[in-house]
Structure 1
């Protein structure tokens, strides 16, 4: 399943990130906690490697908690703090400032020795589309300054956002990279909505999702769709789900487009249960 998507504005955004890094003290990278590997843009990793960084595993309320803990341990080091977050409710938001203060401890001490009393930490917020950057910024700022949407590509331009805790945030549009060489990475991005459904074969995508869940989270499928036994193949399981949801057209044929939309929507909304699609290597 070949997936390529690299809108022109993303080339511009990559250039702007590189140019604006000198203006900030640290970087906050937002990732999707369900796919911490796939939602890590390697271009961002390369661009920001010399900056202290906080990695936010957003939408952690939708994940398998044990897997999220493994990712926190795996991604953290002396220059990187990793935090699980639910931006919608604000769970974990109070950990952001202490994490930044710890990363910037030496710099802040130098500033105090020079007589600076009020220290403002300037941070660039980066991430791929649809990981919840705008929701995170709105929660930090406690208002709706940044535009939000449930589709990738809503945030278009750079803007500075002030908070009440001495942190100023530079927003950037979501950036993907031009070619996905790993099919699992591409599929995980598509499953979670980081790639627009409009350019996808969503029927094939839904079938691929069933194939994945049937192996790793079979009980979630059984419980959500009230199926006693899954099919021997992903297609048979998808047919069972479709029949349970009444996605049948005249003549008893399956309406695959309709069940694909339902399945993907329910997965993305966490209705199939707490699921993590990747674990650390």
Structure 2
């Protein structure tokens, strides 16, 4: 039994060394495909979830014209709520804002008797991609000051652009996964053709199908496991870089990266995919 296991593993290792370039191409393509398809998908969910929870960075502050009456304040709030992309609209009365400012910065407000602040709103966004449109729509409201809309537009556009890039790269990973499968298929196919004489001899001396074909399946498995493990490493590095950026720009920490779980999932996914592609090559060989 041990001799058979040693033979099967040895044959798989010989095949890997014999087809070095194809093996390298298959492994790296599997790694990149899994990284783009699964790894960046994982990052997209985390970054998107984190930015949705950072309301203070993506709030729009709206300042009304001096002397705006309460009726106009109420109507303006209702108009803002109807804008696509606008979420919660909170009214900030000028008296409360002035009292808070005097408490927080008494030196600046010292000696100022009349309240110079206007009534204002704090508007949260339900969709980062609609921030510019929401701000422009609010500017058109008659009770709003000409320059009375303030928000972190540059940061909003940067975060939204990163999310769109991650989404696009994840879609490209699906195509690369197909290419990786073709490479694994061709690698196993070439190994079968190169060893067809040996396979025929083994069949003549009574070797069973599992004894003949398992080395090829192991070869595909190794391709997938190594590629998946490399993809997990790439995801860890990318997650670390994104985590630093998010904390620096948004003062928000991403969830703790589950290193062992990601490694196991990616290695298992690569193994299943590698064995699947190898099995297709073997099945087509049997039909030939």
Q: If the TM-score is normalised by the length of the shorter chain, which range does it land in?
A: under 0.3
- What is the TM-score normalised by the length of structure 2? 0.23
Which structure would you say has the larger Rg? 2
> Greater relative contact order: 1 or 2 (C-alpha under 8 angstroms, separation 6 or more)?
2
